[in-house]
Amino acid sequence: EVQLVESGGGLVKPGSSLKLSCVASGFTFSSYGMHWIRQAPKKGLEWIALIYYDSSNKYYADSVKGRFTISRDNSKNTLYLEMNSLRSEDTAMYYCARAVPFDYWGQGVMVTVSS
Amino acid sequence: IQMTQSPSLLSASVGDRVTLSCKAGQNINNYLAWYQQKLGEAPKLLIYNANSLQTGIPSRFSGSGSGTDFTLTISSLQPEDVATYFCQQYNSWYTFGAGTKLELK
């Protein structure tokens, strides 16, 4: 059974940093591109980052470019999102998701940026 | 690419045939997916490539359309179908519609 489990969220102050993790199981993690997608409270979905299966390419939405970094460790079946210079508008549920279209999603982890 | 869904809220009765609409701002070559999100849960993939049913999804769900206009149809609405439905294009990066909230009448 495919499972994606996120962790690392929390309440942080504007300007601070946070690193999310997504542990994958039930499939060959190293064969799939992976994504981070977020959903602000009572809002729609926003794709924010993609990493290729072998980390050879990484892409970001303009809203997070230069502040967020996506990475992965295929030996640990883990996807990461390092978030710097956090803003109030980054407050959202953050999901990791597999492939395109996004066929499996994690349960999400909440990030709240507030003073 | 902007994705526009209508209606934003839809009320229907159990057993009804329900149709949700999604319009793309330009031709997306049928690279369109539909997701179902129940309250407090992650989205679930229902349909991909505009009309292909994801494994494990009930056959009462179907997708149609091409180019810029797409439709998700639920042939006979069930109580467990109450959710918000999002369309998403993956022809040029990835953008989602704002969603249609489906409730029981």
Compare all CA atoms of chain B with the CA of A36 and give the residue at the minimum distance.
B94
Select the residue of A101, A105, A106 nearest B88 (Cβ to Cβ): A101
pLDDT of residue A42: 84
Residue-wise pLDDT for A42-67, tens only, equals 888 999 999 999 999 999 999 999 99
Chain A residues within 8 A of B33 when measuring between CB atoms: 101-102
- Do B96 and A44 make contact, defined as CB atoms within 8 angstroms? yes
Mean of pLDDT values over B36-50 = 95
Whether the per-residue pLDDT at B47 is higher than 90: the answer is yes
Spell out the residues 6+ positions from residue A75 whose beta carbon is closer than 8 angstroms to its own. none
Q: How confident is the model at residue A2 (pLDDT cuts 50, 70, 90)?
A: very high
Q: What is the dihedral of CA A24, A30, A33, A38, to 10 degrees?
A: 20
Of the candidates A14, A8, A7, the one whose C-alpha atom is nearest the C-alpha of residue A113 is: A14
Whether the per-residue pLDDT at A104 is higher than 90: the answer is yes
For residue A61, give how far its alpha carbon lies from the nearest alpha carbon of chain B (Å): 9
CB neighbours of residue B41 within 10 Å: 12
- Report the mean per-residue pLDDT for chain B: 97
DSSP annotation string for B40-105: TS--EEEEETTTEEPTT--TTEEEEEETTEEEEEESS--GGG-EEEEEEE-SSS-EE---EEEEE-
Residue-wise pLDDT for A6-44, tens only, equals 999 999 999 999 999 999 999 999 999 999 999 998 888
Confirm or reject contact between B97 and chain A (CB < 8 A).
yes
Confirm or reject contact between B44 and chain A (CB < 8 A).
yes
Tokens of B5: 């869904």
CB neighbours of residue B90 within 10 Å: 19
Select the residue of B42, B48, B86 nearest A44 (Cβ to Cβ): B86
Compare all CA atoms of chain A with the CA of B4 and give the residue at the minimum distance.
A44
How far is the C-alpha of B5 from the C-alpha of B95, rounded, in Å?
12
How far is the C-alpha of A22 from the C-alpha of A5, rounded, in Å?
5
- Do A103 and B54 make contact, defined as CB atoms within 8 angstroms? yes
Whether the per-residue pLDDT at A1 is higher than 90: the answer is yes
